[in-house]
Amino acid sequence: MPTQPKVALVTGASSGIGAATARRLARDPGIELVLVARRSELLAELAASLPCPATWLAVDLTREDAPAQVLAHVEAHHDRLDLLVNNAGAAWRGTFGESGWANVHRHMELNFDAVVRLTEALLPLLRRSAPSAIANVASTAGRVSRANSGAYSASKFALIGWTDALSLEEAPHGVHVGMVLPGFVPTEGFPQTELRQKALTRLVLSSPEKVADAIYEVGPGGKSERYVPRPYALAAYLRILSPRLVRRVLGGGSASTFTPAAAERHD
């Protein structure tokens, strides 16, 4: 009897980490992919280049009807869902005094609310397909905040807290929930221009392919969480052990040097 194909859905799949994740998952025998992002031409190009069956849906995940659209697309092409990768996200720089609640709101709308709403829509299908998995792409900025990126950090802090609770709630249903916390990764949406200009700061950069490997580890691999690169976990531990020291260190440099790229979405 032939093995039933595994189905994985990746958001923010048009470029960067999402596209790298699709390519990584496509290496598995018997995998079928659903690619979700806003840019149809890039999704079509990626789907055609993969060595596995892949469908795609161009949709803005902040739209009210987006979760229903994604669910309908999945059900039209598949009868199961084995992996959901919540990767789509964005960052816009700005201090709270300058950008206010509006900047916090747009971060939460995409980086947190859209993830929660899509997961809610697809969770019954994930439960029916169990054992299955959810891989949420958070950020090291969800453990350690910096000036000029507080709104981004707030959305990722929220995502991390919700992911931890969801993992406990869904384990009895056979749905594993893992989390990836990337550091600085040059992508179209997060070019990390300042960091790439200096030899020393280039050492702290990772790559979309390394994040994709980590997503695979916390999704199909069953790990709880992965920092990328792994040493970034030290910053999170130090934030707990010595918060005053961390604030002094982060406050001593340029507020704009180690912050996410401005005004870009990687979905």
Going from N- to C-terminal start, the domains of the chain cover 6-265
Q: Tell me, what's the pLDDT at 265?
A: 59
What CATH number does the domain located at 6-265 have?
3.40.50.720
Write out residues in the chain with pLDDT < 50, as ranges.
1, 195-203, 253-263
Could you tell me whether strands 54-58 and 132-137 are parallel, antiparallel, or unpaired per DSSP bridges? unpaired
Q: Tell me, what's the pLDDT at 189?
A: 55
Q: Tell me, what's the pLDDT at 238?
A: 83
pLDDT, one tens digit per residue, over 82-124 is 999 999 999 999 999 999 999 999 999 999 999 999 999 999 9
C-alpha dihedral (62, 168, 31, 29), degrees to nearest 10: 150
Catalytic residues: 152
C-beta atoms surrounding 172 within 10 Å: 7
Could you tell me whether strands 132-137 and 175-182 are parallel, antiparallel, or unpaired per DSSP bridges? parallel
Q: Tell me, what's the pLDDT at 3?
A: 75
Q: What pTM, to 2 d.p., does this model score?
A: 0.88
Q: Report yes or no: 91 and 149 within 8 Å, Cβ to Cβ.
A: yes
Q: Tell me, what's the pLDDT at 261?
A: 38
